[in-house]
Amino acid sequence: MHLNIGGMTSFTTIDFPGHLAAVVFLQGCAWRCAYCQNPHLLAVDEASDDWEMLRRFLEKRRGLLDGVVFSGGEPLLQSGLSEAIAAVKDMGFKVALHTAGGNPQRLSRCLPLLDWVGLDVKTTFTNYADLTGIEGSGKKVRESLKLLLESGIDYEVRTTVDPNFFAGNTLLELAKILAAVGVKNYALQQCRAVEDYDFDGTPFVLDGIFINTINAMFPKFTLRTS
C-alpha cells in the first residue's frame, strides 16, 4: 500500500485518550488555514512510500504501545489510509484518526475500522471558506460530523480558537449548532501563533462567563489554553 508520512511521534499519552500511542503525521492538505501548525505537511512527496518503514517501526513496538494515531496534514487525503488502518489493526493496535473532515466519503470507509476520532470543526459551516480558503469545505465537514455521530465511535469534536477569526458570537453560535446536532464531547483549544501569523496582541478571546455558557451545553467539555 502507498503511504506518505511527514513525521512521527513515537510515544504519546494525550493524542488517543486512554492509550499509549504513536502518532503518524501523513502528508498533504488541500486547505490553507492561516494558523496551520504543520505547514511543512501540506505538500505531498508522491515519490516516497513509507508504509514499510511504519510497519517495521510498529513491529518493534508490539507490547510497548497499544494504539496508533493517524494525523496530518489531512490523513483522509491519502488513498492508502483505510488499507493502512486495517493492517495496523491486524498487528494488534487500536487506531485513532485526527481529521478536519474534508472527505466524508473516505471517512465513511474508515469509520468501521476506527476506535476513536478527533474531528476538527473549525467554525460555523457557512463561514468555512473564510478560514480554509476553499468553497464548500463547511458542507463536507457537516457531512463528516453527521457520519461520525451516527457511527457510535468514541470521539472528540474540537475547535481551535483563532482570535483573529472568531468575531462576536461566532463561537457561541458554533457551540449551539454542535449541541443541537448531538455532540456530547467538545473541546476548545487555544490557537498558537505561528511564523508569519500573529494575533494582533490579543492572547485569547474567551472569558469565564463565555466559557461557562459553552461548558453547560455539553456533557463533556474541555478547555485547552496551552
Positions in the binding site for ligand SF4 (CB under 6 A): 29, 31-33, 36, 38, 72-74, 100
65 vs 178, which CB is nearer to ligand SF4?
178
Least Å from the CB of residue 75 to ligand SF4: 10
Residue 50 and residue 5 in contact, taking contact as beta carbons nearer than 8 Å: yes
Residue 114 and residue 81 in contact, taking contact as beta carbons nearer than 8 Å: no
Least Å from the CB of residue 6 to ligand SF4: 10
36 vs 44, which CB is nearer to ligand SF4?
36
Pairing verdict, β 67-71 and 185-190: unpaired
49 C-beta neighbours (distance < 10 Å), count: 14
Report d(CA 58, CA 91) in Å as an integer: 8
Geometric angle at alpha carbon 147, from 146 and 149, rounded to 5°: 65
43 vs 91, which CB is nearer to ligand SF4?
43
16 vs 31, which CB is nearer to ligand SF4?
31
Least Å from the CB of residue 103 to ligand SF4: 11
Which residues are CB-neighbours of 197 under 8 A, at least 6 positions away?
Answer: 34, 35
Least Å from the CB of residue 80 to ligand SF4: 18
Residue 25 CA neighbour count, 13 Å, CB half: 16
Cα–Cα separations (whole angstroms), residue 184 to 129, 139, 216: 26, 21, 11
5 vs 33, which CB is nearer to ligand SF4?
33
92 vs 136, which CB is nearer to ligand SF4?
136
Least Å from the CB of residue 15 to ligand SF4: 15
3-class DSSP assignment, residue 71: strand
Least Å from the CB of residue 143 to ligand SF4: 16
One-character DSSP codes across 169-204 = THHHHHHHHHHHHT--EEEEEEPPPBTTB--TT---
